Structure 1
Amino acid sequence: MHDHNNTLEWDINDNHIPKRLGTALGTGSPNTVSGVTTHDAFQEWADGHSRFVYRPDSEEARRHSSGWAMRNTNNHNVHILKKSCLGVLVCNKHCILDNGDTIHLRPAICDKARKKQQHKACPNHKCTGRLEVQPCRGHCGYPVTHFWRHTEFAVFFQAKGNHDHPRPEPKSSAEARRVGHSYKFSRGITRSLLLNNSIASSLQF
């Protein structure tokens, strides 16, 4: 397990997690639990069983960011946010691009949108394959899970499982692709309307 500090013993579900040096959260008793002495640099691609402690003002930690496609999952503890990995969109023919890469698109978080993504034509114009979701089964046959817990002094993160699939494209690339598609779509509608108006004008007497 990759840990923030080998001497810092804690689990995301503990009743008392580290607060600050020598003080347990919610007890005020010194030396009950080892405290947080340093914070970790944010890990966008956390993989494997790992634990990190981020600064409470870390924007990435506050937004529960991840390079992996993670969605919120029901959790019995209201103080802990649980997220599960959705895997990656791949070509069902496993085609190879000219640069040697494979198709590894980001699956949508919304179930309805993700369903629409599947069976679409592979974006590789040289391929006749279709997109399909390669699910994550890296946590004992189930999706890898991420856990987040906020305190006044830190944001605690714990991951369970090893991702058994390629990394999806960065979120910024996926968003740019969607914006580009919307722009082309709206531009196409505008051109169509202009063409129809031109035809209509030519038919007026």
Structure 2
Amino acid sequence: MLKGADDSVMEQEDSASRHGEMTSWDINDIKLPQHVSQTDWFQEWPDSYVKHIYSSEDKNAQRHHSSWAMRNTNNHNSRILKKSCLGVVVCGNNCSTLDGRKIYLRPAICDKARQKQQRKCCPNCSGPLRLLSCRGHGGYPVTNFWRHEGQFIFFQGKINILSL
């Protein structure tokens, strides 16, 4: 489910109030909370501005898994893994399948392969494919941040896919 910026702040507060944890932490803080009574369920499609605290035992969190197509991005803080969203490939004709679903394809990770992918045709209508970029705060690229601290994996996401 894709939400607007206002909804994401409420979701962040709701997530924190569900398990009574402090939401004032930021992934760049020197110290992160270490007394967490309940960790979050893993979110495969994090959307909007969100924060999650996962158990360090969670296999998906350990792998920094996301269903969004992400690429590792240079980060000047070696304790934080930064990943940037590559967007989604859509049909340029905005076609639908027989059951009414839109065509959304995962973009290739490599720049050259992604350019080649966009020259292909829609698998449904043979129309042109186009890349719909991820845009976050103020149009900046969308990023996910991961940080392992003790028995927790902290996740902070800034994702807002416009026009989907």
Considering the TM-score relative to the shorter chain, is it more than 0.5?
yes
| Equivalent residue, structure 2, for 1:81 | 81
Q: Is the contact made by 1:144 and 1:162 (CA closer than 8 Å) also made in structure 2?
A: yes
| Structure 1 moving runs of 4+ over 6 Å | none
Which residue of 2 is the match for residue 162 of structure 1?
Answer: 160
Single out whichever of 96-105 and 136-145 deviates more from structure 2.
136-145
1:39 aligns with 2:50: no
SS at match of 1:140: helix
Q: What is the aligned-residue identity percentage?
A: 54
Match for residue 190 of structure 1?
A: none
Give, in whole Å, the separation in 2 of the partners of 1:138 and 1:11: 17
* Deviation readout 1:93-115 (Å, 9 max, x if unpaired): 11122111111000011212212
Higher relative contact order (CA 8 A, sep 6+): 2
Task: State yes or no: 1:11 paired with 2:26.
Answer: yes
Equivalents in 1 of 2:116, 2:28: separation in Å? 36
Specify the structure having the higher radius of gyration (Cα): 1
Does 1:148 pair with 2:146? yes
Which residue of structure 2 lines up, in the alignment, with residue 120 of structure 1? 120
- Residues 83 and 51 from structure 1, CA distance in 2 versus in 1: closer, same or farther, beyond 3 angstroms? same
TM-score, normalising length: structure 1: 0.68
One-letter code of the match for 1:76?
H
**Corresponding residue SS for 2:98:** coil
More strand by share: 2
The equivalent residue for 2:6 is: none
Please, what is the CA RMSD of the aligned residues? 1.6
CA distance in 2, matches of 1:165, 1:109: 22
Residue 81 to residue 12, structure 1, CA distance change in 2 (3 Å): same
State whether residues 87 and 165 of structure 1, in contact with CA within 8 Å, keep that contact through their aligned partners in structure 2: no
Q: TM-score, normalised by structure 2?
A: 0.84
Counterpart CA distance in 2 for 1:139 and 1:44 is 21
Query: 2:50 and 2:90 mapped to 1: Cα distance?
Result: 27
Give the number of equivalent residue pairs.
Answer: 149
Structure 2: tracts of 5 or more residues without a match = 1-8
